[in-house]
Amino acid sequence: MNTSTVLIAVLAALAIGLGVYVAFLLSGKKGTLEKARADAQAEAQKAAEILQSSRKEAANILKEAALQAKDHLLQVKIDFEKETRDRKNELSQLEKRLLQKEDQFDRKNEQVEARAAEYAKREREIAEQDRKLEAAQADLDARLAATRVELERVAGLSAEQAKAEIVELIADEAKMEAGKKIRVMDEEFKEEATQKARKMISLAVQRYAADYVAEHVVSAVPLPSEEMKGRIIGREGRNIRAFEAATGIDVIIDDTPEAVILSGFNPVRREIARISLTRLLQDGRIHPARIEETVEKVSKEMEETIREAGEQALFDLGIHGVHAELVKLIGRLKYRTSYGQNIYTHSLEVAFLCGMIASELGLNAKVAKRAGLLHDIGKAVDHEVEGPHALIGADLARK
């Protein structure tokens, strides 16, 4: 009920009172006056009740309007905050993609520079070959000229002088022929040795018929649904920041359907991050405290897994007496790759082949296996240690 309704009710009450009063004047009777007065009071009471009801209804309308306005303002605020968070997430993803594009550009630029340097090197080699050819041609021309002069000189010699010249020439030719024979024999000996070495290696390879499967570092973690991306990020990004801080691995959430990408140079940390995230998704409880607890537990399990992998390699090869730190490094090779091949598997293959070749040559097979297993141990060390992996591995073995 609005203000117009209240006004109409008041006017109606006044009109009724006025009518009663006029009736009283016309009748002039006391009983009629009292009745009119009672009627007027009743109507006034009714009008007052209507007015009170109208005021209450107006107050309720105002209160309801205020509540609706407050709810609308709160919803607008919530929508604005959500849109702001979404925009921040989009900007963060765009920034990460831009950084990835910059890294790809830098790598391609390095490749282009390397190719340019290789082309320049080839051009210098070709120029050097041209220079040598020109020098050889000049030397040949000089020798031909010297030969003509020599022939002209020999034509004027006596029989004894000519005989001596011929003997000397034959001796020089004999020396040259002997040198050629020696070179041919040397090449034959080298070829025979190469054939024997190839045969020996072929026999060793046939005896060791290991399966080879190319391994690649998997950095994508599948998700049960797209909604899990929001839970991984957490409120205001708390979960994803806690996960990256605990693992040292970057979590990339982009348009890839039902998957997140784990990015990091340390393969052991990346594997810890992969296992931890998988367990968190299976458990369903994703919050900073649970993340730290899970990562710590998986890290301890990873240390045990690495140690067991190292001990298994030594057991398979029959090698004993290896230092505990070297055992751990051997296990870490399981999470390293080189030229697309798993270094752990590669080292085992090399160790087996070294042992077989050593047996064929009558050498110590155990020492050969140990050397083959540890030949790439320097690659198990993080990139913070500078130097070629062969020298790093030698230093580790000495210690």
Task: Give residue-wise pLDDT tens across range 206-255.
Answer: 444 444 443 444 568 888 888 888 888 888 889 889 999 999 888 888 88
Q: Which residue has the tokens 């970057």?
A: 250
Summarize the confidence of residues 163-177 as an average pLDDT.
Answer: 70
N-term to C-term CA, the chain: 95
pLDDT-based confidence at residue 154 (cuts at 50, 70, 90) = low
Query: pLDDT value at position 347?
Result: 87
Beta-strand relationship, 220-222 and 250-252 = unpaired
Mean pLDDT of the chain: 77
Query: pLDDT value at position 396?
Result: 60
Which of 220, 313, 228 is closest to 262 using CA atoms?
220
pLDDT-based confidence at residue 392 (cuts at 50, 70, 90) = low
Phi-psi region of 294 (alpha: psi -120 to 50; beta: other; left: phi over 0): alpha
3-state SS, 61-104, equals HHHHHHHHHHHHHHHHHHHHHHHHHHHHHHHHHHHHHHHHHHHH
pLDDT-based confidence at residue 381 (cuts at 50, 70, 90) = confident
Beta strand segments in 92-230, E: 220-222
Beta-strand relationship, 259-263 and 250-252 = antiparallel
25-34, 93-102, 238-247, 378-387: range with lowest mean pLDDT: 25-34
pLDDT at 354 over 70: yes
Could you tell me which residue, 21 or 168, shows the higher pLDDT?
168
Q: What are the residue ranges spanned by the domains of the chain? A: 3-84, 121-207, 220-398
Query: pLDDT value at position 215?
Result: 41
Q: 337 forms bridges with which residues in the sheet?
A: 342
Strand, helix or coil for residue 245: helix
Query: pLDDT value at position 210?
Result: 47
What backbone phi and psi angles, to 5 degrees, belong to 135? -65, -40
High-pLDDT (> 70) share of the chain, %: 72
Return the ∠ at Cα 359 (arms to 358 and 365), rounded to 5°. 65
Q: How far apart are CA 325 and CA 337, in angstroms?
A: 20
Q: pTM surpassing 0.85?
A: no
Summarize the confidence of residues 86-111 as an average pLDDT.
Answer: 80
Other Cβ atoms closer than 10 A to 357: 19
Summarize the confidence of residues 281-301 as an average pLDDT.
Answer: 91
Asked if 237 contacts 248 with a C-beta cutoff of 8 angstroms, the reply is no
81-95, 203-217, 283-297, 358-372: range with lowest mean pLDDT: 203-217
Sequence-separated (6 or more) residues with CB below 8 Å from residue 201: 353, 357
pLDDT at 292 over 90: yes
Summarize the confidence of residues 1-24 as an average pLDDT.
Answer: 58
Ranked by mean pLDDT, the top range of 6-10, 95-99, 180-184, 286-290 is: 286-290
Taking the C-alpha atoms of 372, 376, 381 and 387 in order, what is their torsion angle to the nearest 10 degrees?
130
Query: pLDDT value at position 300?
Result: 92
23-32, 65-74, 210-219, 270-279: range with lowest mean pLDDT: 210-219
